[in-house]
């Protein structure tokens, strides 16, 4: 369990934590790229433990909302259930590490669960919900959970490069399969 002085307001990942967990997120993204999947790595960390880990599952579920973040949030909920832990007290001290800025939907989902901190690599120009298209992370939405803090730009160029590589290998080979990349 977390330290006593770490109240909700002061909860924030340290630089070492950011370095460490983003490195894992990037490893996940690289693995995904090598197996021809959307190169996005995403993990939820609570009390120095990974409690949710997601990859995009849109194609296999035919559910366009199965972004890596949503999958990771489901794992966090299962983890709480298995350990009989209170979801809100876990969420209040959890952080999301993801190589690409969460989209508008995922940003709203993170708010609804009161996740206080999101660390991401590059911007998501098409769907970004932490400032690129809309700023859901800090907007005044009293009925949509709580705002969260963002740390952005961590190894951004590398994240962009992976996405570019993915698009390049996708486009010429698969003109008709319309694989979701977001």
Catalytic annotation, residues: 69
Rounded to a whole number of angstroms, the minimum distance from the CB of residue 114 to another protein is: 9
DSSP assignment of 141-164: -TTS----EEE--TTHHHHHHHHH
Residues with Cβ within 8 Å of 112's Cβ and at least 6 positions away in sequence, in order, are 144, 145
Rounded to a whole number of angstroms, the minimum distance from the CB of residue 119 to another protein is: 21
Question: Is residue 28 near Zn ion by the rule CB under 5 A?
Answer: no
Question: Is residue 106 near Zn ion by the rule CB under 5 A?
Answer: yes
* Segment near Zn ion (CB under 5 A); pick from 6-14, 67-75, 82-90, 144-152: 67-75
Among 32, 96, 103, 117, binds Zn ion (CB under 5 A): 103
Which residues here bind another protein, judged by CB under 8 A? Answer: 57-66, 70, 73-74, 77, 87, 103-105, 107-109, 111-113, 125-127, 129, 133-134, 136, 139, 141-144, 178, 180, 182
Question: Is residue 94 near Zn ion by the rule CB under 5 A?
Answer: no
Specify the long-range contacts of residues 22-25, CB closer than 8 Å, at least 24 apart. 22/97, 22/99, 22/119, 22/121, 22/154, 22/155, 24/50, 24/97, 25/97, 25/98, 25/99, 25/121
Rounded to a whole number of angstroms, the minimum distance from the CB of residue 15 to another protein is: 31
Nearer to Zn ion, 85 or 151 (CB): 151
Asked if residue 24 lies in contact with residue 41, where contact means CB atoms within 8 angstroms, the answer is yes
Residues that bind Zn ion (CB under 5 A): 67, 103, 105-106
């Amino acid at each position: 369990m977390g330290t006593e002085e770490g109240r909700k307001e002061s909860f924030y990942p340290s630089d070492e934590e950011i370095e460490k967990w983003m490195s894992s997120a990037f490893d996940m993204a690289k693995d995904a790229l090598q197996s021809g999947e959307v190169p996005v790595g995403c993990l939820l960390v609570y009390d120095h433990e990974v409690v949710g880990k997601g990859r995009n599952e849109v194609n296999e579920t035919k559910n366009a909302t199965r972004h890596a973040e949503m999958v990771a949030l489901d794992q966090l909920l299962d983890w709480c259930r298995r350990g009989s832990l209170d979801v809100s007290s876990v969420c209040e001290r959890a952080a999301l590490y993801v190589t690409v800025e969460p989209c508008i939907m995922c940003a709203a989902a993170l708010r609804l669960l009161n996740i206080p901190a999101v660390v991401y690599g590059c911007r998501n120009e098409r769907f970004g919900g932490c400032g690129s298209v809309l700023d859901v992370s800090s907007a005044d939405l009293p009925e949509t959970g709580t705002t969260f803090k963002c740390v952005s730009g961590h190894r951004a160029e590398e994240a962009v490069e992976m996405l570019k590589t993915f698009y390049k290998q996708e486009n010429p080979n698969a003109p008709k399969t319309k694989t979701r990349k977001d």
